[in-house]
Amino acid sequence: MTARLLRFSSAASVFLLPLLAYADPKPEAGLGLPRDVSLDGHRIDWLIKVTGGFVTLLFVIMCIWMLWACIKHNTKHTADYDHGTSRHSVTVALAISSVIFLVVDGNLFVNSVLDLGQAFWNFKKAETDPKVVRIQVNAHQWAWDARYAGPDGKFNTKDDIVVLNNIRVPVDTPVILQLASTDVIHSFSLPNFRVKQDAVPGMVNPMWFQAKQTGEFSIACQQHCGVNHYQMKGVLTVLPRDEYEAWAREASAQAVRAYDANDTRAHWGWEWRKL
């Protein structure tokens, strides 16, 4: 009995230990979108909810209309055939579809443009904060390399902090990412922050976000990028400001000690692009 128990526990450990070794954000509880922990994520959620409301309303109206037609057009009703090409039919169809298009798609278009201008593409808002954190992300099959400039504020120098699949940022602080790729098109996605941006070979694409809560959140690749695409998951760890600064200080000091000028593959950073 004891031997069987030992065999079972050693077999179980083969599967369980790798799970314990990998820091993974807790799965989201309940239905719906992942928990929004960002400054501007509510804008996306509002658009999704309002559009969902419109679509549900249209669905209910169509169901009632069809039910009414089924009841009214019963066996006692003489069928009245029509090709739907009369001026009246065309006018009614155009009027209804125009109202739906203008209200539902118009709302999406106008508010998306406003959201981009006021928040998601408003890099000036992020840049003007003196505490802003700048990170370069280099995507490749199948991981995310991230680089922080270190105390000298310059990228590709001795004191750069380079991490793999675990990006740390401070809470309540704008974070600007510049994304590149060494192989194929990837898409850096932060579901809890309602932001994503393509990482394209030969280009540097920016995005920014600001965390409102501390914790561990998923980083995902949102673009199918090859057979091991599923492996491109990472962790975004949001820390209190003092903890983040302590980590950055220590990580940068370690980077200086481990710096190897001849390791050219490690110096993949670029000069920070003006936004």
**Which one of 44, 186, 190, 195 is in contact with Cu ion (CB under 5 A)?**
186
As measured in angstroms, the least distance from the Cβ of 1 to Cu ion is 48
Q: Where are the alpha helices (DSSP H) in the chain?
A: 2-21, 41-72, 87-100, 106-115, 123-127, 241-258
Q: Least Å distance between CB 186 and Cu ion?
A: 3
Rg of the chain (C-alpha set): 26
Q: Does 219 bind Cu ion (CB under 5 A)?
A: no
Tell me: does residue 221 bind Cu ion (CB under 5 A): yes
Q: How far is the CB of 178 from Cu ion (least distance, A)?
A: 17
Binders in 241-260 for Cu ion, by CB under 5 A: none
Listed residue (206, 145, 221, 216) closest to 176, CA to CA: 206
Specify the residue, 134 or 186, whose C-beta has the smaller distance to Cu ion.
Answer: 186
**Min CB(20)–Cu ion separation in Å:** 26
Least spacing, CB of residue 21 vs Cu ion, in Å? 22
Given the complex with Cu ion, which of 173 and 222 has the nearer CB atom?
222
Which tokens in the block code for residue 269? 């950073």
3-22 footprint of Cu ion as x/- string (CB under 5 A): --------------------
Question: Looking at 115-123, 143-151, 153-161, 218-226, which segment touches Cu ion (CB under 5 A)?
Answer: 218-226
Give ∠ CA 239-242-243 in degrees, rounded to 5.
45
Order of strands, edge to edge, in the sheet holding 215-221? 166-170, 234-239, 215-221, 186-190, 195-199
Q: Which conformational region is residue 205 in: left (phi greater than 0), alpha (psi within -120 to 50 degrees), or beta?
A: beta
Q: Which residues have a Cβ under 8 Å from the Cβ of 216 and sit 6 or more positions away?
A: 23, 24, 25, 26, 235, 236, 237, 238
Comparing CB distances to Cu ion, the nearer of 108 and 200 is 200
Q: Which of 191, 154, 168 is nearest to 241 (CA)?
A: 168
Among 232, 236, 238, 239, contact with Cu ion (rule: CB under 5 A): 232
Size of the site for Cu ion (CB under 5 A): 4
Peptide bond into 142 cis (omega under 30): yes
Nearest to 100 by CA among 58, 45, 52, 44: 58
- Shortest distance, position 26 Cβ to Cu ion, whole Å: 23
Q: Among the candidate windows 67-75, 96-104, 121-129, 179-187, which touches Cu ion by CB under 5 A? A: 179-187
Which of residues 149, 207, 225, 248 is near Cu ion by CB under 5 A? 225
> Minimum distance between the CB of residue 207 and Cu ion, rounded to whole angstroms?
15
Q: Does 180 bind Cu ion (CB under 5 A)?
A: no
- Which residues of this chain interact with Cu ion, rule CB under 5 A? 186, 221, 225, 232
